[in-house]
Structure 1
């Protein structure tokens, strides 16, 4: 593995992480609910859910933040090493995993671990181990 030190940006990564933590904390304090993205999206797709306004605002903030950032700085170039089919399959697997795991990395990894939830710690360890295993198999065993 080679680290591209010219592109290493610890301060912006630290600022991004702090903003994610701040947004999750404010959402929890203001609404009494965890800011898990899969749960927010899932409840927006159901009829008659409570708190739709703040959920829509949170999701819109996620979608509009890169556009706002693009007004002040260049957005990073996205590069995918797979085609459309690979992205669709990956998205479906992530969606299925979040339903079986009763949450996603934001709900378990950010909010759950911050609340010292044992279930969230186990879920996050499973997410991470699965990701490590997939990268190992795809890059080192299959040569992709």
Structure 2
């Protein structure tokens, strides 16, 4: 499958799943909010978050079965750098009241001004990180 076709199909599936989640459950499909709900087992959202997380974990093996193999990936960072990056992303999602999926996919679709500001901050931070990384490399 071409890069364009697979990216297009992935985008359609993400948009469809976010729209269906909002339509059927009445909630935003932000990953950080769903995962945060796992810490509250008494809340009904606990089961939904667990199911969503299970889908995220089972998605790659399903891709391998359907596509016949893993896509080519090149990760050049060390494990400690990746762990630090993951912690910083987690901190950022709490600080920004949501993640890229919640703000970028769902918030922008609802024309949320807060999400528009958050997405602009995500993009600016990403561009600045790449620029600084290239200078330091």
Q: Under a length normalisation based on structure 2, what TM-score does the superposition of the two structures give?
A: 0.94
Matched, 1:78 2:105: no
Matched, 1:127 2:137: no
CA distance in 2 between counterparts of 1:130 and 1:61 reads 29
Paired position in structure 2 for 1:35: 29
- 4+ residue runs of structure 1 moved beyond 3 angstroms? none
Count of paired positions: 136
Counterpart pick for 2:92 among 94, 97, 103: 97
CA distance in 1 between counterparts of 2:15 and 2:29 reads 10
Deviation readout 1:54-112 (Å, 9 max, x if unpaired): 22211111111110110121211332111011001100110000000000000000000
Gaps of 5+ in 1: 1-6
Paired position in structure 1 for 2:50: 56
Q: Under a length normalisation based on structure 1, what TM-score does the superposition of the two structures give?
A: 0.89
RMSD: 1.4
Q: Which is worse superposed, 19-28 or 70-79?
A: 70-79
Matched, 1:68 2:62: yes
Matched, 1:15 2:12: no
Cα distance, 1:9 vs structure 2: 1.1
CA distance in 1 between counterparts of 2:39 and 2:75 reads 28
CA distance in 1 between counterparts of 2:117 and 2:128 reads 16
Gaps of 5+ in 2: none
Paired position in structure 2 for 1:4: none
Counterpart pick for 2:103 among 100, 103, 108: 108
Cα distance, 1:8 vs structure 2: 5.9
